[in-house]
Chains A and B, each alone.
Chain A
C-alpha cells in the first residue's frame, strides 16, 4: 500500500532555530510536495520537486528551503523559524505529470514556533 511518512506528528521549536521536516515515500513517485495548511486558507504549496535535486517554488516559498538528495526523501527546512510559521505541514507525493493519479499525503506535522 502507498505510504508517505513524515518524521514527526508534533514539533515545538523556538524562534530563530533551524528546523528540518522530513518526508519519505515508498512508491517510487517522481513528484514530492510540501504544503502548509491553515484554517480558512486550505493547502498552500511551499515547494515541490519533480526529480532528485530538482525543485520549484510554490506559492509561499519565503522563509523555507528544500532538499531532495534521494528520490524517496524530501526535506523542508525553515532557515530561521518565526512565530508566523506555526502551522500544519503536509507532505505529498505523486506520479509524473500527465498521470491522473492523485497525490498521496503523509499524516502531517503540527509545528509550533515559540
Chain B
C-alpha cells in the first residue's frame, strides 16, 4: 500500500528566509502525481504545487519549488523569501495516475517568525 511520510511535525522560519519541508512516499507505481497542499489556520486547503512523476524537471510556482527525487521517492517543498502569510499546515499528497484516491501525509505545521 502507498504511504506518505512527513517527518517534521513542526517547522519555523524567519520572515524572508528559505525553508524546506520534507516528504517521502512509498509506491511500486511508476506513474503518479504528487501534490503539496496548504491549509492556513481556519481557512480552506488549497493547492500549492504539483508534480507529474514522468517529468524530470522540478515544478516551480513563484516562491515555491520542489525537489523531486524519483529514485529516492522524495518530494520536498522549498519556500523562498518566506512571508507571514505562508504560516500554515502543509500536506504532501500522492495519487496514482489512473486512480481517484489521494494519500495524504500527516502534515507539517509551519510558523513564520517576523
| Chain A residues near B (Cβ < 8 Å) | 31, 33, 35, 40-45, 48, 50, 58, 90, 94, 97-98, 100, 102-103, 105-108
Contact = CB atoms under 8 A, between A and B. Distances in A.
Interface of B: 4, 9, 33, 35, 37, 43-47, 50, 52, 91, 97-102, 104-107
Contacts of A97: 98-100
Contacts, number: 45
Contact of A43 (B46, B52, B91): B91
Q: Is the interface of B mostly helix, strand, loop or mixed?
A: loop
A106 B100 contact: no
A98 B97 contact: yes
B50 A100 contact: yes
A31 B100 CA distance: 8
